[in-house]
């Protein structure tokens, strides 16, 4: 009786000590081995084991740290799991019956599966070969109670490990997002002759989408959009390197195909080792001549909307993605651009967007939208496409970045070419009521400023230049007052920018917008001189550069440039 009481007391002490260790789960193997060692002493068995199969690995823990009893394996774990109860074998025969793979040295076993709640894991605990005795009913109660405590320790450990992994992944995503955000241009470039809009809807995982703008001499605009295969920090770092290399080549004035060849030459060895690739579309727009030169290296086909035909010209792939082939002969493709033409760049996150029914947004849907709304401003078109993509998801998790970049050609004079590179002399702001009675004051203010041009020709040539400026001012302000505001109250604000080789005028208003391309060239019929139609035609004839854009919430913007006559 005394031995039984001592044994019961030792079992209670064991359960208490195990309970005290429930929260100490940083060293799971150490904790389990300690529990097995104490249990072995209390029950007086030769050995003990814990087997754990998680989603990550198979763990085997025995009493002795230096003991490698591989017989305690997945097969034993599966058999105990199927039994789904405490198993007691007090003879070699019963051990062999339950566990045919058991070695002959095992003559008794007490084991039970563990119930690990809300975890994708299976585990068992057992004792082997009780010395000089059979396993008793008290031993069965002990291991059943012990199993509950050990299951809690394992669950706490697995939960803790998941939190560690989650925190590490979250931090990696934060770092990748920070890297990616520093890569994207802080603002859109201000380049004459084009209007731009850009947006990017990030995925849950930071992807490898990137874009960039490089301007040279307020004439050449290089646009880059691409996608690195992969996610997280590796993709963000590779994006950073790629963008930097492309920017260097663009600033050197290299054509698109040379830019891609150089980047491929540098990155190919690393991409090959990583089994990765980068799709890139590079385009350079000559905003004065209306020329587009591009190379598409494995990227989605960019869409060129022709405003005259209202049709799409897809700019297909003409080169392999970077990282596919070390040596490839590629070239750039050249196209003419016209006033009102719109170029839609995008990554595959747009066309691969999936609905809850797993339908794809698709290229045809995007083409349909661009054909229907290609005459909209870039900002309006971009917002519409992005909203359609978001609505298509219908709250489903976004699996891929969806980047959209839109460029619209503005109505420049057909033969405009800058006499030389323009440099700023000074800028003067103005603000007047949109009222016909102020036309004279507006004209005098701006023309007086223009007379400060350092290279204004003397005599009649200078007077003629100022006269043409005054005429353009009168026509543009009249157009704003009569058509944009339609007689309603409003303001005309803007800037006069004096250049070393001419003058730039910017007019802003909050009136109604209109499509300059819809205004036909007027026919000079002396018998039918109807009002309207001549103002815009006169401005285009007078000025070297005439561009117009309208953006929701920002109003209308007229940009006029007149270069000084050659000496």
pLDDT in tens, 289-336: 889 999 999 999 999 999 999 999 999 999 999 999 988 888 999 999
Distances (CA, A) of 175 to 166, 206, 229, 550: 14, 10, 18, 38
Work out the pLDDT band at 471, boundaries 50, 70, 90: confident
Residue 451 is given by DSSP the state: T
Res 399 pLDDT > 80: no
Q: Any idea what the Cα angle at residue 190 is, between residues 187 and 191, rounded to 5°?
A: 140
Distances (CA, A) of 157 to 21, 116, 445: 12, 11, 78
Name all contacts of 238-245 with Cβ < 8 Å and 24+ positions apart.
Answer: 238/208, 238/267, 238/276, 238/278, 239/179, 239/180, 239/183, 239/208, 239/209, 239/210, 240/179, 240/182, 240/183, 241/267, 242/210, 242/267, 242/278, 242/280, 242/322, 243/183, 243/210, 243/212
Give mean pLDDT, residues 469-488: 89
Ranking 40-54, 193-207, 421-435 by mean pLDDT, the lowest is 193-207
Res 466 pLDDT > 60: yes
The per-residue pLDDT for range 182-222, each reduced to its tens digit, is 666 767 887 778 889 998 766 655 567 889 998 887 788 99
Give mean pLDDT, residues 62-87: 82
Superfamily of domain 184-409: PPM-type phosphatase domain (3.60.40.10)
CA distance 518 to 537: 12
The per-residue pLDDT for range 363-386, each reduced to its tens digit, is 999 999 999 999 999 999 999 998
What is the reported pLDDT for 179? Answer: 60
Cα–Cα nearest to 57, from 85, 28, 25, 33: 28
Ranking 157-166, 205-214, 366-375, 410-419 by mean pLDDT, the lowest is 410-419
CATH of domain 424-563: 3.30.565.10
Residue intervals of the chain classified under CATH 3.30.450.40 are: 2-162
Scanning the structure block, which residue is given the tokens 């944009």?
484
Ranking 35-49, 145-159, 177-191 by mean pLDDT, the lowest is 177-191
CA 546 to chain CA mean position, Å: 35
CB 178 within 8 Å of CB 197: no
Cα–Cα nearest to 385, from 423, 353, 432: 353
Residue intervals of the chain classified under CATH 3.30.565.10 are: 424-563
Enclosing H/E stretch for 95: helix 92-98
CB 271 within 8 Å of CB 253: no
Give mean pLDDT, residues 10-32: 61
Res 522 pLDDT > 50: no
What is the reported pLDDT for 513? Answer: 85
Res 274 pLDDT > 60: yes
pLDDT above 90 coverage of the chain, percent? 37
Distances (CA, A) of 425 to 418, 462, 503, 536, 560: 16, 18, 10, 28, 17
Which of residues 522 and 45 earns the better pLDDT score? 45
CATH architecture of 2-162: 2-Layer Sandwich (3.30)
**Paired residues of 399 in beta bridges:** none
Q: What is this structure's pTM?
A: 0.53
């Amino acid at each position: 009786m005394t031995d039984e009481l001592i044994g019961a007391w030792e079992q209670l002490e064991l359960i208490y000590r195990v309970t005290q260790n429930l929260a100490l789960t940083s060293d799971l193997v150490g904790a389990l081995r300690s529990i097995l060692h104490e249990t072995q002493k209390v029950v007086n068995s030769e050995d003990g084991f814990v087997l754990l199969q998680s989603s990550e690995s198979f763990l085997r823990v025995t009493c002795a740290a230096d003991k490698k009893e591989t017989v305690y394996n997945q097969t034993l774990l599966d058999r105990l799991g199927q039994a789904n109860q405490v198993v007691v074998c007090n003879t070699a025969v019963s051990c062999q019956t339950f566990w045919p793979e058991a070695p002959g040295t095992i003559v008794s076993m007490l084991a039970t599966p563990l119930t690990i709640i809300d975890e994708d894991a299976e585990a068992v605990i057992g004792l082997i070969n009780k010395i000089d005795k059979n396993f008793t009913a008290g031993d069965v109660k002990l291991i059943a109670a012990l199993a509950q405590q050990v299951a809690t320790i394992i669950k706490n450990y697995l939960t803790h490990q998941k939190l560690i992994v989650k925190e590490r992944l979250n931090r990696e995503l934060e770092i990748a997002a920070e890297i990616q955000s520093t890569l994207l241009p802080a603002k859109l470039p201000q380049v004459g002759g084009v209007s731009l809009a850009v947006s990017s809807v990030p995925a849950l995982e930071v992807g490898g989408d990137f874009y960039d703008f490089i301007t040279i001499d307020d004439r050449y605009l290089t646009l880059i959009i691409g996608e690195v295969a992969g996610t997280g920090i590796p993709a963000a770092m590779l994006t950073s390197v790629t963008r930097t290399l492309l920017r260097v080549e663009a600033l050197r004035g290299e054509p698109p195909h040379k830019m891609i060849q150089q980047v491929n030459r540098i990155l190919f060895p690393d991409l090959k080792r990583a089994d990765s690739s980068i799709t890139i579309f590079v385009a350079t727009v000559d905003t004065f001549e209306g020329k587009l030169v591009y190379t598409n290296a494995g990227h989605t086909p960019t869409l060129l909307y022709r405003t005259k035909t209202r049709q799409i010209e897809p700019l297909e792939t003409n080169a392999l993605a970077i990282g596919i082939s070390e040596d490839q002969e590629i070239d750039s493709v050249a196209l003419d651009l016209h006033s009102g033409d719109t170029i839609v760049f995008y990554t595959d996150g747009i066309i691969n967007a999936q609905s809850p029914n797993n339908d794809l947004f698709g290229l045809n849907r995007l083409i349909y939208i661009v054909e229907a709304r290609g005459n909209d401003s870039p900002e309006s078109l971009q917002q519409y496409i992005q909203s359609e993509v978001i609505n298509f998801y219908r709250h489903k998790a976004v699996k891929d970045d969806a980047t959209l970049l839109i460029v619209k050609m503005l109505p420049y004079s057909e033969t405009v070419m800058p006499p030389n590179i323009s440099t700023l002399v000074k800028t003067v702001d103005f603000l007047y009521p949109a009222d016909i009675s102020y036309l004279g004051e507006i004209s005098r203010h701006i023309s007086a400023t223009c007379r400060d041009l350092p290279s204004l020709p003397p005599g009649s040539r200078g007077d003629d230049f100022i006269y043409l400026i005054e005429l353009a001012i009168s026509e543009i302000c009249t157009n704003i007052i009569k058509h944009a505001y339609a007689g309603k109250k409003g303001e005309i604000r803007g800037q006069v920018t004096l250049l070393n080789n001419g003058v730039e005028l910017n007019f802003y208003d909050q009136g109604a917008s209109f499509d300059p391309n819809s205004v036909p060239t007027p026919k000079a019929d002396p018998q039918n001189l109807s009002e309207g139609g001549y103002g815009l035609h006169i401005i285009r004839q007078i000025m070297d550069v005439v561009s117009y854009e309208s953006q929701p919430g920002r109003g209308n913007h007229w940009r006029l440039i007149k270069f000084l006559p050659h000496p």
